[in-house]
Amino acid sequence: MIKIYDTKTRSKREFVPVEPGKVGMYVCGPTVYNYIHIGNARTFISFDTIRRYLTWRGFEVTFVQNVTDVDDKIITKAAEEDRTAAEVAKEYTDAFIADMHAAGVQDPDIRPKATEEIDTMINLVQKLIDKGHAYAVDGDVYFAVRSYSDYGALSNRNVDEMESGHRELRADGQGLEDRKRDPLDFALWKAAKPGEPSWESPWGQGRPGWHIECSAMSEKYLKLPFDIHGGGADLCFPHHENERAQSEAAFDTTFANYWMHGGMLQINSEKMSKSLGNFLLLRDILETTDPAVLRMLMLQTHYRSPLDFSDARLKESAAALERLENFVTNTLWLAKKPTGDGSDLASKVETLVDQLKESFTESMDDDFNTAGALGAIFNFVGEVNTLTADAQVSAADAKALTDAAQAVVELMDVLGISIEVKDATDATATVLDDAESAAEMMVLAMEFAGFSPGDGADPSTVKAAMAALLDARANARAAKNYAVADAIRDGLNEIGFRIEDTPQGARIVKA
């Protein structure tokens, strides 16, 4: 049973989808006037992980995420840079999609853009006017907050105690307060001033307000009610409160059944802000950081909790990821290379694999507790390592060991992290994967190191090849990649050489 913490009821509730086996999910997308920062990235990575998990649990997920490509901020930026708003929006939409791909976030099933859904929004605004929930004033249209009796229920606010905190400006810079019937009312449609992007509407040339976008798009692509509405905690009020009011007032039905909000991100325990000079863009971080390491850092904190981002935590996450990679590489190697005639390893490892899948699922079912799920994986790695450390591995254990490695790969993949078996910096690992036997691996390794066996080998090339092998082994050991280090040793044995470790360093001698 999956439980989801629902912001509206302020409790964890059993997840019951509207349609059995299917999940409709809407996560508010970016306003494209800038590159996204690491705090935005956290929200998108969290919901990507949730979507992947629900899919793994057998649900057919429909994931919708809008792109706000017309907005005051885009228009301001365009004016500053002497470009059109459409050019600015196009540049940052492309950049957003590229950043999401770089971060390993899957594309939504549907990615509607505000500028391509103007009619859908106009129809919804008209519907709200027809039902007495909205009114037009000189080309603007406002939602009458007090006409919807449940306003404030999502963000746990009382309308009568609410200040009109969200003062809005008209396109011409005039305050709206005197135009609205109630200070709490918010804009559904804004009259445009000349030169700004605008569309024809029953109320004159204008453009949609931000909140109406998500109401229009979720109804169009998911139907109401849909299952999960997500976003960062900063969107809960007023954005989500307003979306909900518009949708429920227009369609007389529940908008979303579960409201999920991701926690905020801090840098070195401080709020991230431009004024503090600690404002980090996702793309800058990914220039020097493996996206899998970034995701590992993020998933070690529950999605609703505040997350602390720092270089030290990145380093820890890189080490944690490497531990998993080494486990998979070594365990797969062990499975290919029996060292004894029989043990009770197989049944013990299989039991651990079953327990791992159970506790992983239990954590993730509990409001997507990724930190607990990762904890289960690291416990498992520790326990299997202990079992295999001194065991005589027999051929009969091979399947269990392969299953153990694959379980880690599969579950990490559910979390959006693909585990790489050792890579380019250690050429022998690639060789190892391609070779069918240790001896063949040695030949490939020597070829890699510039030695071509057979046709009158130059002694200096042989020397270089031997040195390269010793280097590769030393690097593998330093990285605790014992599978590769052992493979080099065993491969040499097979072709009649052995490695001798001396106080002056290792050397290769005839066996």
Shortest spacing between CB 156 and Zn ion, in angstroms: 19
Q: Rounded to the nearest 10 degrees, what angle do helices 291-299 and 370-389 cross at? A: 110
Which one of 25-33, 151-159, 254-262, 398-406 is the stretch in contact with Zn ion (CB under 5 A)?
Answer: 25-33
The shares of helix, strand and coil residues in the chain, as percent rounded to the nearest 5, are 50, 15, 35
Helix (H) or strand (E) holding 206: strand 206-208
Stretch that binds Zn ion, among 17-25, 86-94, 207-215, 218-226 (CB under 5 A): 207-215
**What are the backbone angles phi and psi of residue 251, rounded to the nearest 5°?**
-110, 0
Residue 122 Cβ vs Zn ion, minimum distance, rounded to whole Å:
18
| Distance (Å, whole) CA 502 – CA 497 | 16
Q: Of 28 and 479, which CB lies nearer to Zn ion in the complex structure?
A: 28
Task: CB nearer to Zn ion: give 213 or 403.
Answer: 213
Q: Which is nearer to Zn ion, 28 or 61 (CB)?
A: 28
Query: Strand locations in 50-110, DSSP E?
Result: 60-64
Q: Is the dihedral of CA 205, 209, 210, 214 positive or negative?
A: negative
- Using only the alpha carbons of the chain, give its radius of gyration: 29
- Segment contacting Zn ion (CB under 5 A): 10-18, 177-185, 211-219, 272-280? 211-219
Binders of Zn ion in range 279-338 (CB under 5 A): none
Burial of residue 237, with CB atoms counted within 10 A of its CB: 0-12 exposed, 13-18 middle, 19 or more buried: middle
Query: Are the C-beta atoms of 261 and 9 separated by less than 8 Å?
Result: no
Report in angstroms how near the CB of residue 355 gets to Zn ion at its nearest.
40
Site track for Zn ion across 392-421, x = CB under 5 A: ------------------------------
Query: Residue 246 or residue 343: which is nearer to Zn ion going by CB?
Result: 246
Q: Please give the single-letter amino acid code of residue 313.
A: R
d(CA 67, CA 63): 13
Which CB, 214 or 356, lies closer to Zn ion? 214
CB 373 within 8 A of CB 303: no
Tell me the two tokens of residue 184. 């709490």
Please tell me what DSSP assigns to residue 499: E
Q: Are 407 and 352 in contact (CB under 8 A)?
A: no
For Zn ion, the closer CB: 256 or 332: 256
Secondary structure letter of residue 249 according to DSSP: H
Q: What angle do CA 38, 106, 239 make, to 5 degrees?
A: 55
Nearer to Zn ion, 114 or 441 (CB): 114
**Shorter beta-carbon distance to Zn ion: residue 116 or 284:** 116
Please give the angle made by the CA atoms of 23, 25 and 29, to the nearest 5 degrees: 165
Question: With CB under 5 A as the contact rule, which of the stretches 21-29, 181-189, 264-272, 394-402 interacts with Zn ion?
Answer: 21-29
Q: Of 393, 385, 386, which is closest to residue 334 (Cα–Cα)?
A: 393
Q: Name the residue nearer to Zn ion (CB basis): 244 or 283.
A: 244
Among 25, 27, 28, 349, binds Zn ion (CB under 5 A): 28
Closer Cβ to Zn ion, 214 or 282, answer by number: 214
**CA 394 to chain CA mean position, Å:** 39
CB of 26 to Zn ion, least distance (A): 8
- By CB under 5 A, name the one of 214, 328, 345, 415 that touches Zn ion: 214
- Closer residue to Zn ion (CB): 216 or 492: 216
Residues 34-67 as b/e (b if ≥16 CB within 10 A, e otherwise) read: bbbbbbbbbbbbbbbbbbbbbeeeebebbbbbbb
SS3 (DSSP) at 263 = coil
CB of 300 to Zn ion, least distance (A): 28
* Interface region with Zn ion, contact rule CB under 5 A, candidates 24-32, 117-125, 434-442, 445-453: 24-32
Stretch near Zn ion under the rule CB under 5 A, chosen from 96-104, 212-220, 260-268, 323-331: 212-220
Min CB(23)–Zn ion separation in Å? 18
In the complex, what is the shortest distance from the CB of residue 214 to Zn ion, in angstroms, rounded to a whole number?
3
> What totals of helices (H) and strands (E) does the chain contain, helices first?
16, 15
Of 9-17, 23-31, 356-364, 498-506, the segment contacting Zn ion by CB under 5 A is 23-31
Identify which range of 11-19, 87-95, 106-114, 209-217 contacts Zn ion by CB under 5 A. 209-217
Please tell me the distance from the alpha carbon of residue 511 to that of residue 496, in angstroms, as a whole number.
Answer: 5
Site string for Zn ion, 115-154 (x = CB under 5 A): ----------------------------------------
Stretch that binds Zn ion, among 20-28, 81-89, 190-198, 285-293 (CB under 5 A): 20-28
Cβ proximity to Zn ion, 125 vs 214, nearer residue: 214
Neighbours of 248 (CB within 10 A): 22
Residue 43 Cβ vs Zn ion, minimum distance, rounded to whole Å: 12
Q: How many CA atoms lie within 13 A of 490 on its CB side?
A: 17
The least CB distance from residue 106 to Zn ion, in Å, is 19
Binding residues for Zn ion, rule CB under 5 A, total: 2
The site for Zn ion (CB under 5 A) is made up of 28, 214
